[in-house]
């Protein structure tokens, strides 16, 4: 039985009398003056919080210029519904012609119709302009939820967007990837490194007749359309390998996968994403049973284990059979010692179809989870669509890991896998529905500093001084490297830890008091 649960839930092509649109303004004329007294832009508590955490205050915090809005409100044919200071825009609803005419106003930068955002290729941005700033400022738009669920935007804003990392994507086809505008940035920057169709012995992995599943999967990591769509690793490099025959299900596909993994190893790939999984075949004689999901039985799982041993991190879908009676658990190769990714809904609740653990030999599966319902993706027609399945939670996580791994490329794949599990919101109490939970890539804990009813860290990632607050007066603090070796032990005499002598990387801090022991992941910049 196929591993892919793929359901297109929206692809807007309808026309309505009343159009919805965003109107972006050219500037904020009062920005410079407003930023001279930034404390006037916030409540006292909000301003103190920004200072406390070192949050940048810039023109995005300045309100939209009210005279622009007043001008729009004098015009007929539409209503102004919402304004956004962050994006210097207003949201309007009305007649298309009246809204289009706004483009002629000197203070209007552009008009973007919401229907066009999720429509055809010609309506998506056709080019990507490299930004010169060191801080990345993405408008995630359609992908906001699946990115913010992981707090991945924090790594992106620090310019950790996958640069220097290589991901191999194993799938059933990548139609039109070499021409779609949503992958223009990838192509222009030389990040589409190549590919191979192992099933047809061809280099044409973007043939339009191939199954579109790989295009959808790739888009969740590598897709980019300005102000419309941002994948989790838009600046990583990619190899595209076709190993799956979508029309049939035969075990030769496992061999194609292993061959592709070997090719990936030879090319220096860091991460393999596999939105595939095998349990049952067209010929029942080849099918597996739940008892076979031990990481050592199927050929593809053996291959995945080898890929891990060779230094690549294998990230794979857990599967979509969680609501079936005869085969609820993860498939192959998710049963191997790899990072299997289950699924949750947009609110972070378990997705009923997500395959569960444990593995046949009792290991907790999946390792982590991400959004697998109403995932935003780009299809082979360059349309913004919604899709369901752990086929998409897996690449969302794979892309996030590429950004995280940038922090220290000296980590090996097993260290990274363990760190990702530590980031999960259930890391202290994993289970066989959600594994270690949803990773929090902000690594900033749950800090609400003025309320010290629980121990929290802040200004993390940290440059020199890490601050903390908690209900106890004193803590024994032990700091470990990723190999588990204690490198510092001290008693707290203040609410600060001096890490200026530490090299850049990830550490684990243990805070021990009379009543509790708590662990935190620390990133030293």
CATH number at residue 179: 3.40.50.200
Domain end marker among 406, 423, 440: 423
Residue 128 lies in a domain: no
Domain end marker among 400, 423, 446: 423
State the Cα–Cα distance between residues 230 and 219, nearest whole angstrom. Answer: 8
**Co-location of 395 and 330 in the same domain:** yes
Which runs of E-coded beta strand occur in 198-353? 224-225, 229-230, 237-242, 271-274, 313-317, 339-344
Cα of first residue to Cα of last residue in the chain, in angstroms, is 46
Residue 446 lies in a domain: no
* pLDDT, position 459: 61
**Co-location of 94 and 186 in the same domain:** no
**Co-location of 381 and 467 in the same domain:** no
Domain end marker among 423, 441, 470: 423
State the Cα–Cα distance between residues 40 and 447, nearest whole angstrom. Answer: 24
Residue 450 lies in a domain: no
**Co-location of 304 and 201 in the same domain:** yes
**Co-location of 154 and 246 in the same domain:** yes
**Co-location of 311 and 405 in the same domain:** yes
* pLDDT, position 267: 84
Residue 79 lies in a domain: yes
SS3 at position 131: coil
* pLDDT, position 132: 29
Q: Give me the CATH number covering residue 42.
A: 3.30.70.80
Q: How many domains, the chain?
A: 3
* Count of CB atoms situated within 10 Å of the CB of 200: 14
- 21 close to 112: Cβ distance less than 8 angstroms: yes
Q: How much of the chain is helix, strand and coil, in % rounded to 5?
A: 25, 25, 50
**Co-location of 403 and 499 in the same domain:** no
Residue 437 lies in a domain: no
* pLDDT, position 384: 93
Residue 30 token pair: 């009062």
Closest CA to 29 of 1, 81, 2, 69: 69
* Count of CB atoms situated within 10 Å of the CB of 124: 25
**Co-location of 212 and 80 in the same domain:** no
The secondary structure of residue 349, as a DSSP letter, is P
Q: What are residue 206's DSSP bridge partners?
A: none
Residue 133 lies in a domain: no
**Co-location of 368 and 232 in the same domain:** yes
**Co-location of 48 and 163 in the same domain:** no
Domain range spanning residue 464?
Answer: 456-524
- 516 close to 471: Cβ distance less than 8 angstroms: no
Burial (CB count within 10 angstroms: exposed 0-12, middle 13-18, buried 19+), residue 82: exposed
Q: Which residues contact 135 (CB under 8 A, 6 or more apart)?
A: 56, 157, 158, 159
Confirm whether pTM is higher than 0.85: no
* pLDDT, position 53: 36
State the Cα–Cα distance between residues 211 and 474, nearest whole angstrom. Answer: 60
User: What are the residue ranges in the chain where pLDDT is below 70?
Assistant: 1-17, 42-56, 60, 82-83, 86-87, 114-137, 443-454, 458-461, 493, 525
* pLDDT, position 381: 95
Residue 439 lies in a domain: no
**Co-location of 119 and 151 in the same domain:** no
Residue 153 lies in a domain: yes
**Co-location of 290 and 363 in the same domain:** yes
* pLDDT, position 444: 34
């Amino acid at each position: 039985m196929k591993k892919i649960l793929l359901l297109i839930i929206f692809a807007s092509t309808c026309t309505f009398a009343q159009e919805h649109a965003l109107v972006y303004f050219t500037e904020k004329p009062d920005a410079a003056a407003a930023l001279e007294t930034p404390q006037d832009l916030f409540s006292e508590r909000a301003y103190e919080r920004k200072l406390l955490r070192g949050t940048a205050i810039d023109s995005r915090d300045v309100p939209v210029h009210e005279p622009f809005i007043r001008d729009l409100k004098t015009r007929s044919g539409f209503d102004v519904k919402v304004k956004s200071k962050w994006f210097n825009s207003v949201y309007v609803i009305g007649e298309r012609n009246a809204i289009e005419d706004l483009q002629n106003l000197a203070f209007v930068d552009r008009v973007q119709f919401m229907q066009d955002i999720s429509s055809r290729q010609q309506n998506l941005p056709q080019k990507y302009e490299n930004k010169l700033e060191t801080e990345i400022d993405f408008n995630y738009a359609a992908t906001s939820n699946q990115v913010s669920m992981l707090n991945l935007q924090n790594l992106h804003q620090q310019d950790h967007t996958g640069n220097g990392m290589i991901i191999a994507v194993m799938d059933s086809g990548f139609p039109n990837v070499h021409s779609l505008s949503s992958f223009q940035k990838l192509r222009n920057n030389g990040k589409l490194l190549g590919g191979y169709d192992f099933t047809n012995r061809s280099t044409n992995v973007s043939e339009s007749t191939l199954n579109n599943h790989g295009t959808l999967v790739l888009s969740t990591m590598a897709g980019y359309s300005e102000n419309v769509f941002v994948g989790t690793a838009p600046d990583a490099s990619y190899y595209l390998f076709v190993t799956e025959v979508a029309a049939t299900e035969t075990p030769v596909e496992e061999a194609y996968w292993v061959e592709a993994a070997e090719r990936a190893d030879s090319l220096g790939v860091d991460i393999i994403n596999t939105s595939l999984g095998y349990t049952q075949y067209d010929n029942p004689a080849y099918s597996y049973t739940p008892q076979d999901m031990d990481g050592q039985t199927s050929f593809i799982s053996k291959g995945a284990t080898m890929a891990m041993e060779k230094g690549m991190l294998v990230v794979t879908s857990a599967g979509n059979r969680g609501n079936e009676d005869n085969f609820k658990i993860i498939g192959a190769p998710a049963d191997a010692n790899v990072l299997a990714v289950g699924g949750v809904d947009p609110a972070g609740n378990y997705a009923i179809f997500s395959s569960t653990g444990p593995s046949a030999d009792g290991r907790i599966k999946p390792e982590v989870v991400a959004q697998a319902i109403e995932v935003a993706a780009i299809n082979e027609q360059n349309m913004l669509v919604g899709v369901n399945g752990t086929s998409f939670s897996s690449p969302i996580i794979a892309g996030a890991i590429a950004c995280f791994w940038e922090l220290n490329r000296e980590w090996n794949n097993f260290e990274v896998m363990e760190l990702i599990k530590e980031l999960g919101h259930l890391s202290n109490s994993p289970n066989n529905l959600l594994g270690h939970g949803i990773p929090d890539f902000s690594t900033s804990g749950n800090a609400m500093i003025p309320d010290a009813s629980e121990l929290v860290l802040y200004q993390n990632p940290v440059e020199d001084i890490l601050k903390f607050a908690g209900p106890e007066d004193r803590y024994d603090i032990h700091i470990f490297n990723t190999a588990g070796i204690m490198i510092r032990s001290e008693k707290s005499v203040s609410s600060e830890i001096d890490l200026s002598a530490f090299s850049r990387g990830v550490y684990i801090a243990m805070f021990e008091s009379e009543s509790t022991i708590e662990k935190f992941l620390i990133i030293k910049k």
